[in-house]
Amino acid sequence: MKSIKILIVLITVMGCRNDNFLLDSTPPLFTIPPIPIAQVSSFIPFGQFLTPTQQNPAIEYFGNQSDIPVVSVSEGIVVDVRRNPTIDDFEIWIKPSNNATWLIIYDHVVEVTISKGDQVQTGSLLGTIGLGNRVELQVNDDQNIAHCPLQFGTSSFIQQHKNLYEEWCVEETVMP
């Protein structure tokens, strides 16, 4: 009787297993910025207050011209391309792998060159810098907490940013 109870418990546990065991929690690795640092005229740091209650969940890059290419900072799979509801440009959502817990969001992109389901490599063209000559780079985890993109950068990625300005992130994480 005891072995039957154990078997029932095992069947129940296996049948209700948590699919989180199948998730890939490997963080992305950023090797290049989404636009050339030499073409960044200004930026809004990650974590800076945009309003009294909202902090910037991304690094917002402002370019010095309107035709700057936006490229993928790492490899991954395009999981969504969506039009912004109030601005005439797009968000591109990329995961490092199909079952990744991390989500990389490029906001304010026009002339989008990729589609949902596409595999991208580091440096793949995603489109052109959006309205107002800006693009945002945001990294969310599976709890929908935004993390400073520099936390995922190679030493070269970080140094390129710090050569322009030291403080790209005023917080490590924020709620988007």
Render pLDDT for 4-41 as a digit per residue (tens, 0 to 9).
554 444 444 444 445 456 899 999 999 999 999 999 99
pLDDT of residue 4: 52
pLDDT in tens, 124-151: 999 999 999 999 999 999 999 999 999 9
Closest CA to 114 of 132, 95, 129, 92: 92
pLDDT in tens, 102-121: 999 999 999 999 999 999 99
Give the whole-angstrom CA distance, residue 35 versus residue 40.
Answer: 8
pTM of the model: 0.86
Residue 94 CB partners (closer than 8 Å, separation 6+): 72, 76, 77, 78, 79, 103, 104, 105, 106, 120
Closest CA to 90 of 149, 40, 134, 29: 134
| Neighbouring-strand partners of residue 129 | 109
Residue 55 CB partners (closer than 8 Å, separation 6+): 47, 48, 49, 171, 174, 175
Residue 13's SS3 state is helix
Q: Centre a 10 Å sphere on the Cβ of residue 149 and count the other Cβ atoms it contains.
A: 25
pLDDT of residue 156: 95
Residue 73 CB partners (closer than 8 Å, separation 6+): 28, 30, 31, 32, 33, 34, 104, 122, 137, 149, 157
**Lookup result for tokens 């309205």:** 131
Q: Which amino acid is at 80?
A: D
